[in-house]
Every structure is written in C-alpha cells, then in structure tokens.
Structure 1
C-alpha cells in the first residue's frame, strides 16, 4: 500500500502497546510490521517451548494492536512473504509499502542493533531507532552512574534505583530501616510445605496452531513442547502475576534460594518470560508488590527480595551488557576451555542435583536463579567449561533468556569470566551448599560428606581443585581468603587426592 508514512517494526520482545515506536506513531497513517523469522529461531537452537511462547504471544499481540486500530502486516514463519532475517524482511516490506521512514524501538540485543544501524544506507529510507523506555535506567544513564567508579556493585545501583522510584521508601529512608533483607531469604524448604503452582493457561486455537508449527519445524530442538501452559496474552500474564502475589509472594523471600526434588517452581513468580517480552510492565509489578507489603499482605523481606530482582538486578545486568558490548560475550578471565558436557542436554548424569535442574529445564524451559547459578553454573565453573559455550546453552534453553539479561548473568555472575566486573567473587561452592539448600543429595548416588574418591560428591573435589588451580587470581580477592587458608591446611597427601579425584571425574565427561 503506497502512502504509508512510517513503517513501524515491532520485535518479538516488544509486545507492549505503549512502547516508544508505537507511542510516536499514528494508526491512521502508519503501518506495523511483525514477523516470525527463521534466523531468530536458529542463531542458537532455542527450546521448543520458547519458540512457541514467543510466536503465540506475537500473534496475539498483533490481534491486540488491530483491536486498537492499527494496520498490522504479520508475516508467519510459513508465509510466502517470509524472508528469513530482519534486514531482508524489512527490505521486502519497505519495497512494497514505500514508507517515508522506518521506526523501531531500540532492540535488546547488540547483534540486532548492529543490523539496524546499517538499514538507512542499505534501504535508502531514514530509520528512527527510539529508546526503549520500558526500562527504568537507560544505557546512557547507567554509563553515567558507572563512570569513575573503581568497582561496580549492584547493591549501590539498587539503592539509587530505590531512591529514584520511591519503591519501599519511607521518606529518605528505606522501609524497615534496611536496604536489603537477603540474609533472611536463604531458608531451605521442607517437602511438607504447601506449594502453590504458577497459573496455567490452556492453549487456545492460535496457540494450538503455533504448537503444531513448532513441532513440525523444530521437533529436533531441545526441550519438551507439551504440556504448554504459558500465558500468551496480556490479560493472562497479568492474571498469572496476580496469582503469584495472592498465593506465593508471602513465602517467596524465605524460600527463594531453596531447591526441592519434584518442585520446579516453589514460591517463585515464573514471570520473567512475560516481563522480558513486554507482556508485563516491570514498574507496575513492583508497585503491586509494594502495595501488598503496605497493606500487610506480605512481609517486607518478600517484597524487598522481589523488587530487588526487578529494579536492582534486572536493570543492573542490562546496564552492564550495553556498557561492555561488543566483546563481553567472549570474556574468559579464567581461561576455561572445556566443552559443555553432553548431560546439559540429556540430563544423563548420576549427580542428582544436575539431573534435576536439567530435567526441569527440558520440561519447563525454566529453572529458578539458584538452580542456574549454584547447580548448572557452579558445576561449569568448577569443571572449567568454556563460558561462551555455557552462555549459548543458557540462551537456548530458557523461555526468559535474551542476551542482554542472560550474558551478564553467565559471564559475570556465574562464571566470573569478566574477572570480577559484575560479581565481587566467584560463585563457586562445594556439595555442602547444595546439601544445605536442597534435598537433592538424599537421593544421589554420590556421598556429599566425602571429599575424595569415586563415591564422593564430584562438586567437593572439583571445588578444592578450582581453588588450587586459580590460587594466584583468588589470592587477590579478600572474600576468598578463608577458602585459601582452609586449602593450605590440607596435608600434601590430601591435596594430591583432591587433584586425582577431580581429574578422574573430569576424564569421564
């Protein structure tokens, strides 16, 4: 259709009616392009549930926009109009519609932003790349905050975000007189606790059509496609969040670090996939959690722990991502090069904790932050796995994973690959931590109380071997001094047994 003023490209993680590209547009004169692109499904081999979730959410959002009066050109993966990638698809639409200009909200990933910067010259059409104002701290504002600081620490950024938003503030002071209640949020869970479940949404006709498409096109990708219970419409995503507030938030703080066999969700919200694709607004959910605290429905440690994850950690890792890209994805300060073990895909391992985390990842495209950090991430760190290989695995297997959020969590928090830019110390732990925070060790064929030998928990020898291998680097980190002193108290024979046990296990990978 000739005469289109602006062609507005809406990406699959921009499913928000008030996003900047749409807020600047005019439904009467502009046209929206949305597309299911083959290149975006295969640059890593995404979990089948992740692909189905995004395609169905995109199709529902296109209908939502049409209901608001927009003209939407929606290109399905199996459409004759499909061109495979962003540049080719936009070029095809621009050739057909001849817009005066193209508008898009800043993408979340650097590789896509790099593509877009070349469109003006390639397409001969002005391209407006507008800020993504769904986030509370722009990349420029984060860079200003980071400038001149000797160390970047999330805690201080988080306090500034609390002041800026007013969340959980009593005047100039934090509610309860403390900024952070994390020390109260490390309780192991008991199997006799009542466990709520995230709201499950039955697939409608649109979703069933997408599920058939994904099974047909991506049947050899990782993960179980069915059962499929994700919300794919805004109202259902909001209902899922409300159900969390009503049934699980009160205990979220206490048990957010706990892990239980057969309980993949515990008291977690399981809404990151909705936040990260735009179905939920981060500030709005934080205000709702604050209201639950102010009205006495939930304790402060639960509300603060949740809000810190959103306005603290989520905003912080995005700031780190844009501050350090490109190049951050290849960080490898520890020089780790081991290939990713096959059991990250198959779950075929005798380590009960790793088997549980990978199995639920395969089934649900979900694992909570401690399972990612202290099970799959911790093992990779101790075993010396190539952090880029682990990064691509995390990006592939989780429904909430986009590079801006996943890469800093992997390279920085989990693998210490950035040398301490993001995390103050390596998040390495022996089997004792896993035993304290979970019941996995009870059913494991390995003995968590043994440090060495063929029946000892592999995390134990690997942990002390990690300390020995990286002694020089770790000696410069005061938080690791107690562990180095403990290792130094081991006898020479014990140190050799640790090295031998670690080598014997790693040889089996």
Structure 2
C-alpha cells in the first residue's frame, strides 16, 4: 500500500484506503488479503443496479448474496475491516457511484482501489467513477484467470480467424498443462473430443451430486421485502449450491473422486432421469471466484496422474479444454470485441422468445426437460444449452437480444463476459462467425443420437412433415433455405447446402410450411 509523508511526526503513515469487492470477486487468495491493513476498508454491497439490470433466477440472486455475506464474514474473522451493505439497509443507496462517494467522505478516505471487473458495463462505470473522484485511484488485477484481458487479442493479432484450438494449444504449452514434453501433449493428441460423445443408457452408475441444504429463508424474505423481481424457486427454501470456499472445495473433491473417471465419455449426453450426469457443477464456484481455474485444473490433472490405471486421458482433456480453452478463450473474445459485440445480429433474427421459455410447458420433450431443468435448478449442461435450447432459438430465428437476456438471467453461473460470447456467438451465430466457424444447428437426429429425450416425446423424431413430425426437422431445413444466401461462401456449410439443393421442391415447400407454423405459434407445439 502507498505511504504518504506525515509532517507532524516526520515519519510515514499508510494512506487511508477504500477497496471495492464486487459480488463475483470472492477470491480468498487475492494478494489484497495477505496482510491485515489497519487503514484499509473493504466495501461490499448488494445493490438493485445488479439485481435489476436483467430478471434473474431466484437461486442466482440468493447464491450470490449468500456467498458475498460468507466472504465478508470470513474477511472480518481474519481481522480485516469490511463495510457491508445488505439489500434492504436504509443507508444503501443501491447505486455504486453514490455508495463509493459517500463511503469515501464518511471515512475520510485518501485512496480508492478496485479489482478490474469482468463485465464491460462495470468497467466503464468504475472508470467514470474514478474520473470524478478527487483522490488517488488504482485498478488491480482480479488475480483469477490464466490470461490477462487482452492476451487473446494479442495472440491473434494479424491472423484471419480466431480459432480456439490454436489458442488452446498455446495455453497448454505456456502453462505446462497435460504436456508430455514442452511440445508434445499428454496421450499423443491435443484433443479427444471424438471420444467424448457417448450416449448414457443407465450405466455406469452416476453418483449423487454433492449438494447442500442452505437455508435461504431470510434472504428470500429480504428479496420479497425489497420487491426484487425474480423467477424460478428454491425447493423447501434450501439452496443446493456452494456458497463458501470450503463448500466449493468439497464439490471439486467430489468431482475428482467420483465423477472424473467418466466425465469425458458422457459430457455431451442427454437423459430424462439425470440432470447432472458426470458434470462437475463447479461453474458458479469458479465464476464467483471462490475457486480459481488453476487450482481446479491442477487438482483434476493431479488426480489423473495419480490414477492413470483407472482414468483415461480422454476424460481429463475434455474437462481441461472447457476451462483452459473455452473459458479463457470466451473471456478474451469478450474484451476484444466489446462493446460492439452486444449489438451484433448478423443473421437479422427478430422473432420473440416463446412463453414456454418461462414455463417449460411444451410438447417437445427435449425442450421440456432442458428448459424445465433450467427453471427448476438454474442449471443445464453445455449440450442442453447449445444443442437443445440454443438450437431451437436459432432455428426459429429469435432475436439474439432476447436470447441473451434469458440465458443471462436463468443460469446461476451466467455473467455477461462468459454468457454473451457463448450465446450470441457460439449458439446464435449472431456475431457472423467470430467465435464459431458455422452455426450449431441440427435436426432431431442429433438430439436422438445423444440421449433418450426423443423416446417418449409427443412428436416422432424420424418424421419430417405432418402433425406428428418433430418440429426440429422442418425448422432445420427452413433455416438452411432462409439463410442460404448468407452461408453460400461458408465452406463448412457446403455439404448441408448441397443437400438442400437436392431437396425435392414439393417436400421443401411442405417442410417450410410446417416450420412457419412452429415459428408463428411456438407455444402450441
């Protein structure tokens, strides 16, 4: 911490400093907390500006508030001074600039510090706040990610495409993760994605998730008193998510001990009776920074190295790729492309979000389960988000603004830096190919191949037209036909467009007519 001259004692005294901690900056290992600073106040607040900028799932709001309160208590237990404002505190102005200015004035603060936020809007807000302060200010790194904000932009400078695989390989080499030597990957291959597409059919047995029973009654009453609009529910008022570092470590250990052995095989699988399969459910703990990506990867890789006779490299590489690859890649894309990225709609999709996205009431079994689970648990794994819900949203040409808001609100781990690049980019192709080289669309065949969602559905996944035909089939061909001009020069779309050209004209007309019925009346299907 900076010192200033004390003219009275001809010595030095610490500058009285205010340090802001945002709700997703719960990093116990940050260098800020190594030493107790007698002249330092840590500021934390639950604010309407954060609960209200989009409508959130109630589990998300409760989990963040619960985790923030636990973090503040732990800091205080370690001797740090924390000024914490709960959502209904009379002295809480509910707006960041007012809170900071007032705290500075009341405590005669001489320096203001904050950790670099991960959302563009907060980054801009804090820069503006600092410009209007008449004291010294400083921004420090959050000390969480493997990469700095603009490392990806620097890596791809001068290159035509932003291929994740090349970034991922660079990260593996740079950080020595799953490397047999400086240049050779563990297992002889960089990517085992082809091994990660098995359909789970009842075996192997899936261990019960490491859940919790955290009484959310008090916070729920506070949210009701404040009039904060949320959706979803918390069964029996017991939150099942980790909200402390100790909880988070338990979830990590459970994943390594019980789930990692089969994670890769079934990471893309879909099943009506299994919500979590072998997934870790660590994303909230990581995105709130209770766990760092490095400690998660180190633990997973160490578990593999100690159990090579039981755990195949394909199980581990798929997990490492999601964190060291996709997570860091998506953050880099975010900081490279914002703020323009949030406005992109290259396919000019303008349809409204169906009502069943808020109720889960649809005759399409795959969407009923994927959306219903999202509404019930504030969670769905990546294939449910991408190839079921996102696939439908893109095929029905829903406005990406509406899709963004839904994904950002419904999932407990959704923060804009990771949500918008996955949703607007990878899922909806609204960025025109910055993230994905082709749109992630499919007919019912893919959904049927990956799980049992189609088994007892009202619709028949093998039928393309007629009242019993799965809507995904007609929507798929309709989408290709509607967007064929846009994708005519996309090499990865060549095979699909060639198949489109060969379609019988009458059949295509029937497919498009069926698809239009779905698009115009989505809540009837």
TM-score, length-normalised on structure 1? Answer: 0.96
Q: Is the 8 A contact 2:46 2:85 kept in 1?
A: yes
Measure the CA separation in 2 of the matches of 1:330 and 1:269: 32
Q: Is 2:20–2:43's contact at 8 Å kept on the other side of the alignment?
A: yes
Equivalent residue, structure 2, for 1:478: 491
* Aligned equivalents of 1:105, 1:508: Cα separation in 2: 47
CA contact (8 A) 1:250 1:298 kept: yes
Deviation at 1:215, TM superposition (A): 4.9
Q: Counterpart of 1:31 in 2: which secondary structure?
A: strand
Report how far residue 193 of structure 1 moved: 3.8
- Give distance in 2, aligned partners of 1:101 and 1:22: 17
Please state how far the C-alpha of 1:87 moved relative to its aligned partner: 1.3
Which of 345, 362, 383 is the matching residue for 1:332?
A: 345
2:234 matched to 1:225?
yes
What aligned pairs does 1:48-87 form with structure 2 within 5 A after superposition?
A: 48-87=58-97
Secondary structure of the 2:205 match is coil
- Alignment RMSD, CA only? 1.6
1: CA distance, partners of 2:322 / 2:78: 32
Any gaps of 5 or more consecutive residues in structure 1? none
Deviates more, 1:266-275 or 1:447-456: 447-456
Greater displacement, 318-327 / 215-224:
215-224
Q: Residue 187 of structure 2: SS of its match in structure 1?
A: helix
**1:93 counterpart (75, 100, 103):** 103
1:386 maps onto 2:399 in alignment = yes
Q: Distance in 2 between matches of 1:150 and 1:502?
A: 36
Paired residue for 1:30? 40
Greater displacement, 33-42 / 216-225 = 216-225
Pair 1:187-2:198 in alignment: yes
Write the distance in 1 (CA, Å) between the matches of 2:476 and 2:158. Answer: 35
Deviation (angstroms), 1:507: 1.7
- Aligned length in residues: 505
Q: Does 1:315 align with 2:324?
A: no
User: Do residues 265 (structure 1) and 276 (structure 2) align?
Assistant: yes
Residue in structure 1 matched with residue 267 of structure 2 by the alignment: 256
* Offset of residue 68 of structure 1: 2.0
Residue 154 (structure 1) aligned with residue 164 (structure 2): yes
TM superposition shift of 1:455: 1.6
**Separation in 1, partners of 2:222, 2:206:** 34
The question of 1:165 aligning with 2:178 is answered no
User: Unpaired runs of 5+ in structure 2?
Assistant: 1-13
- CA distance, structure 2, for counterparts of residue 218 and residue 346 of structure 1: 21
Q: Equivalent of 2:121, from 92, 111, 117?
A: 111
Alignment deviations for residues 168-205 of structure 1 (CA, whole Å, 9 cap, x no partner): 0011210011000010000011135412232112215x
Query: Does residue 255 of structure 2 align to residue 236 of structure 1?
Result: no
The partner residue of 1:367 within 360, 380, 388 is: 380
Partner of 1:449: 462
Q: Which residue of 2 aligns with 1:353?
A: 366
For residues 485 and 347 of structure 1, what CA distance do their matches in structure 2 show?
35
> Which residue is equivalent to 2:56?
46
SS for the counterpart of 2:239 is coil
- In the alignment, the residues of structure 2 paired with residue 242 and residue 503 of structure 1 have an alpha-carbon distance, to the nearest angstrom, of 49
CA offsets, 1:336-364, max 9 Å, x none? 00011111111111111111111111111
Task: Spell out, residue by residue over 1:110-155, the C-alpha distance to the aligned partner (whole angstroms, 9 max, x if none).
Answer: 0001001111232322221112221111122222102101000111
Is 1:20–1:131's contact at 8 Å kept on the other side of the alignment?
no
Deviations 1:359-418 (A, max 9, x none): 111111000000000011000000000011101110001000000000000111000111
Residues 44, 21 of structure 1: CA spacing in aligned structure 2 closer, same or farther, 3 A cutoff? farther
Q: Which of 315, 320, 342 is the equivalent residue of 1:302?
A: 315
Q: Which residue of 1 aligns with 2:7?
A: none
Q: Quick one: structure 1 residues 219 and 357, their matched pair in 2 at CA, closer, same or farther if it must change by over 3 Å? A: farther
Match of 1:403 in 2: 416
Q: Distance in 2 between matches of 1:168 and 1:387?
A: 37
Q: Taking structure 2 as the reference length, what is the TM-score of the superposition? A: 0.93
- Give runs of ≥4 in structure 1 deviating > 6 Å: none
